[in-house]
Structure 1
Amino acid sequence: MPTATPTATSTPTLTAAQARRLGLRAVAALKRDDPAAALALVERGADVNVQDDLQDSVFLYAGAEGYVDVVRAALRNGADVRSTNRYGGTALIPASEHAHLDVIRVLLATDIEVDHVNDLGWTALGEAVGLGNGGPDSQEAVRLLLAAGADPAVRDRFGRTVLQNAERRGFDQIARQIRAALAR
């Protein structure tokens, strides 16, 4: 009986250990600011959910750093949107803090929990307001999160709402957005 010959476009099946090693190499590539290398490793079958010693995975680190193409590839290759980083946060939380708008849009199109609270007591909306810079991208991040159903009444670990944080930080435009969401 003839055996199948691999074609130029087929990829060999990896063992779990090989996929894990490739995943850790992909995380390391992202940490060197080399998303192209990470993408290539993901396309070769890297485990996009394996976490390094700092609990960073390809998916989580790409989301936090705004590498939208890597986030998309990770999602195509089985990224767990419920996975959490060393702070207990999903990829959406640091993406929102840093106002990585393309990543936020991609993540909100999944079944990621928009009101997940990390170990520090923050949601994505909370970090966008409490740790963001209040500029146009932060305002858009807040708009996207509110449109996706983020709850502006969730309080942070200090007992403050996002409206209180916006007002405290002088983010007038964001405070208006939150008031409008609360009025609905």
Structure 2
Amino acid sequence: MFAAQNGYNEIVQILINQGAYINATNVYGQTCLILGALYGHNDIVETLINHGSDVNATDDNGFTSLMAAAQNGHKDVVQTLLQHGADIRAKTSYGTSSITLAAFNGHEDVVQTLIEHGADIQAVDDYALYIASLKGDDHEVQKLLEDGYSVNLTYNSETPLHAAAKAGKKSTVKLLLDHSADVSAKNDKDY
């Protein structure tokens, strides 16, 4: 695992040749492939896949190697995984997809690659205003509202106003209220 995580492809190959179990997991359920993808080691990802690593294996939270690569903006790894059958529609146990992780972290080139391979852009669209509000990105919030996003659209039962308020983003709260955000909207916990 350390070799995959730290980018030592030759050591990964030696360990595989000596019979190391390729789909072994750490205490979080992460495989060597997930770790290689997480840290952007495309050569290791290719080596592991070529030796039978499960491209759609998940960790304890349903996180796949594609999600790991997308979240961290490793476009080359994303492409490799997609070429080898990574499930572009997979979601974590929290309902988050690869495209949402890429979008949330600002990796536009990865988002575009995922779209080109059939990812559901609506998954990002529904999440965009919520995430911009959570981050306190007033410029993006304003742009999304001008583009017609509903100020009261919910994500996991919370509105953008919930997101901005819980993140302490005062200017974003004011911006959302200026656009008629519903101050009485409650999430599934009655907040």
Mean alpha-carbon deviation: is it higher for 33-42 or for 91-100? 33-42
Does residue 164 in structure 1 map to residue 133 in structure 2? no
Q: Which residue of 2 aligns with 1:61?
A: 35
> Is 1:76 aligned with 2:41?
no
Instruction: Give CA-to-partner distance per residue, 1:46-75, whole Å, 9 cap, x none.
Output: 222111222121111111111111100111
Structure 2 residue aligned with 1:122: 96
- Give the counterpart letter for 1:149 in structure 2: G
Q: Which amino acid counterpart does residue 143 of structure 1 have in structure 2? A: Q
**Which of 151, 167, 181 is the aligned partner of 2:120?**
151
Q: Confirm or deny: 8 A CA contact 1:152 1:162 kept in the other structure.
A: no
Q: 1:39 to 1:162 in 2, by over 3 A?
A: farther
Q: Quick one: distance in 2 between partners of 1:90 and 1:152? A: 19
How far off is 1:45 after superposition? 3.7
- Secondary structure of 2:121's aligned partner: coil
Q: Normalised by the size of structure 1, how large is the TM-score?
A: 0.65
Q: Which ranges in structure 2 are unaligned for 5 or more consecutive residues?
A: 148-191
Q: Which one-letter code corresponds to 2:112 in the other structure?
A: R
Question: Is the Cα–Cα contact under 8 Å of residues 129 and 162 in structure 1 kept in the other structure?
Answer: no
**Over the residues paired in the alignment, what is the CA RMSD in angstroms?**
2.7
User: How many residue pairs align between the two structures?
Assistant: 140
Using the size of structure 2 for normalisation, the TM-score is 0.63
Superposed displacement of residue 164, structure 1: 3.3
Identify the residue that residue 142 of structure 1 maps to in structure 2. Answer: 111
1:115-142 residue CA offsets vs partner (Å, 9 max, x unmatched): 1110122100000012x1x2xxx11101
CA distance in 2, matches of 1:86, 1:36: 28
Q: Indicate which of 110, 116, 121 corresponds to 2:84.
A: 110
Q: Distance in 1 between matches of 2:47 and 2:77?
A: 12
Distance 2:97 2:35 in 1: 17
The equivalent of 1:90 in structure 2 is: 64
Unpaired segments ≥5 residues, structure 1: 1-26, 180-184
2:180 aligned partner: none
- The answer to whether the Cα contact below 8 Å between 2:70 and 2:98 also exists between their aligned partners in 1 is yes
* Equivalent residue letter for 2:117: A
Q: Give percent identity, aligned residues only.
A: 21
**What is the CA-CA distance between 1:103 and the residue it aligns to?**
0.4
Cα 1:108–1:86, aligned 2, differ >3 Å: closer, same or farther? same
